[in-house]
């Protein structure tokens, strides 16, 4: 099923209405759909280089809107939320999460996790739903989602624009590893900045 959906998304990237399909895929991927928008973003930018900013913005905006939907699924539909997280193997990991967020360390830890989920190949949809499930601050959720998703799709769009098929080959071989390393590096920098400010407070 995954391979079929993957190929379908690739075909949609070449469709004359590809931007509308990208908006749809970006939206549903943030709450239920298993295929990331990058699958469409890369070939779309390569074939329409002058539109790379527009493509990046469509993917970012509709991904965050889909993330907000995921948040509300978590906040108001408990049974559906737990079924989705169980499907991705994350249900047990969130049992005690709400209690951990009662202290500042837990809050900042979730910020880092949420950023990584938006930027790396982690299933972002699981963490949008979990954020609603645990009652995480929705405004902060939206800001972190905009930053992480925006950064991810800008990098993918720009490098596709700059390097074309070479970047496609790189992503197929090393994409997941590269985004994970960069995402973790950014979170580590954020932690260090937090610790420095905390020590001087």
Q: What's the pLDDT tens digit per position in 116-169?
A: 888 877 778 888 888 888 888 899 999 999 999 999 899 888 888 888 777 777
* Three-state SS letters, the chain: CHHHHHHHHHHHHCCCCHHHHHHHHHHHHCCCCCCCCHHHHHHHHHHCHHHHHHHHHHHHHHHHHHHHHHHHHHHHCHHHHHHHHHHCCCHHHHCCHHHHCCCHHHHHHHHHHHHHHHHCCCCHHHHHHHHHHCCCCHHHHHHHHHHHHHHHHHHHHHHHHHHCHHHHHHHHHHHHHHHHHHHHHHHHHHHHHHHHHHHCC
pLDDT at position 59 over 80? yes
| CB neighbour list of residue 42: distance below 8 Å, 6 or more residues apart | 156, 160, 167, 168, 171
CB 183 within 8 A of CB 117: no
Q: What's the pLDDT tens digit per position in 65-115?
A: 999 999 998 888 877 777 777 776 666 666 566 556 655 566 777 887 888
Task: Tokens for 57, please give them.
Answer: 């913005």
Task: Tokens for 27, please give them.
Answer: 């939206």
Residue 2 has what pLDDT? 46
Residue 17 has what pLDDT? 81
N-term to C-term CA, the chain: 53
Q: Which of 63, 43, 180, 80 is nearest to 124 (CA)?
A: 63
Q: Model confidence at 183, in pLDDT bands (50, 70, 90)?
A: low
Name the residue ranges covered by the structural domains of the chain: 2-199
């Amino acid at each position: 099923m995954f391979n079929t959906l993957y190929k379908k998304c690739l075909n949609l990237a070449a469709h004359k209405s590809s931007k509308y399909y990208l908006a749809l895929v970006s939206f549903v991927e943030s709450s239920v759909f298993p295929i990331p928008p990058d699958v469409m973003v890369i070939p779309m930018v390569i074939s329409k280089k002058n539109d790379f900013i527009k493509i990046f913005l469509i993917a970012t905006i509709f991904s965050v809107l889909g993330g907000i939907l995921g948040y509300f699924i978590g906040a108001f539909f408990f049974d559906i939320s737990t079924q989705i997280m169980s499907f991705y193997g994350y249900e047990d990991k969130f049992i005690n999460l709400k209690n951990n967020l009662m202290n500042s360390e837990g809050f900042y830890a979730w910020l880092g996790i949420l950023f990584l989920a938006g930027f790396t190949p982690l299933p972002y949809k699981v963490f949008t739903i979990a954020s609603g499930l645990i009652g995480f601050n929705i405004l902060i959720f939206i800001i972190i989602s905009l930053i992480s998703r925006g950064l991810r799709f800008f990098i993918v769009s720009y490098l596709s624009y700059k390097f074309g098929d070479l970047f496609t080959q790189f992503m197929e071989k090393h994409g997941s590893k590269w985004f994970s390393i960069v995402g973790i590096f950014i979170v580590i920098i954020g932690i260090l900045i937090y610790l420095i400010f905390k020590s001087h407070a």
